Structure 1
Amino acid sequence: MEFLKQAKVVRFRSHHNKYLLAADDEVSVWQNRDGTVKNARWTVELISQNSNTLRFKSCFGKYLTALSTPCLLGIKSKKVLQTLPRTLDSIVEWEPVSVTKGYKVKLKTANGQYLRANGCSLPPWKDSISHDNPNWRKPGSPTEIDLTLPKQNSPSDKEKI
């Protein structure tokens, strides 16, 4: 996890080969295959009290937040949004759990749930992001995330930022 602690900015790529993006509404998060846009960049913030816990800030200055609100009525997965809470508490804290050597991790919330990139191609699940208790038998739950560093000063990034 040293890589993540030293990174200033990361992109999250799911097993669907899609990137976690901060939506332009400055509230939602979703998935998209284009990881070069500014919305795919997440600033890493170390939390001094707990070296294993991090915060991720979107290009809009809002934090990746694990809410306790269900995504849909009757579904146990919970919402993940970008918010700017009054106090920076456990809802904006994520613990990276190493999956393999390299840059694959799973992001765990303070209450033990994991970030999940939903892969259903039908609305309302299409390209959505949630957090849930792990179901180790179901592929992609919780989502393994490839961490990538955005290329600094690349022409494509300059055009899109």
Structure 2
Amino acid sequence: MNFLFILLNLINCYRINEMINLKYKIKELHSKTDCKTFYELLGISELSSSEKIYKSYKSLLKTPSPYPSLTNKEYRDLVITAYKILKNDKVKYDMLLKDKIYYFDESIELTIPKLVWVIFSVILVILTDFIVCLIRSINNKNNKKHLPEMVIKKIFRKLKIVK
């Protein structure tokens, strides 16, 4: 059961990481252009079909950069990024635009995966301790007086959490 919980948290961290990557690409768009969304960059609406997105993408690749601060190559790279996001990650991108929960501070965003790794590590240590105790008890099953005890239980007993 714990393994499933850990696995789900790791998957969730991966999804959060994908959202962070999308967010940085949006920040890059905002820093280089006056467009608010990749839809605006491509000159299409949010309800546009994939065919219309592709046509707009192809036509913009042929045009020079309308932004004086961007070279033609930088503009093409930005258009390619917009197309890839709207082609592959449109649902996530739309969710990111609509749901303000993903606009929280980066320091918090980076602590969530770290927190999951800490929880994973603690659970792994407890599980390892349990397995070692189990192996010792199997080896000492004839000697009932000296059964091994989990290290974590000894620690809790010293802290007076468990009797």
> Structures share a fold, TM > 0.5?
no
Q: If the length of structure 2 is used for normalisation, what is the TM-score?
A: 0.22
Q: Which has the larger radius of gyration?
A: 2
Structure showing the higher helix proportion among its residues:
2
The one of the two structures with greater contact order (alpha-carbon pairs below 8 A, sep at least 6) is: 1
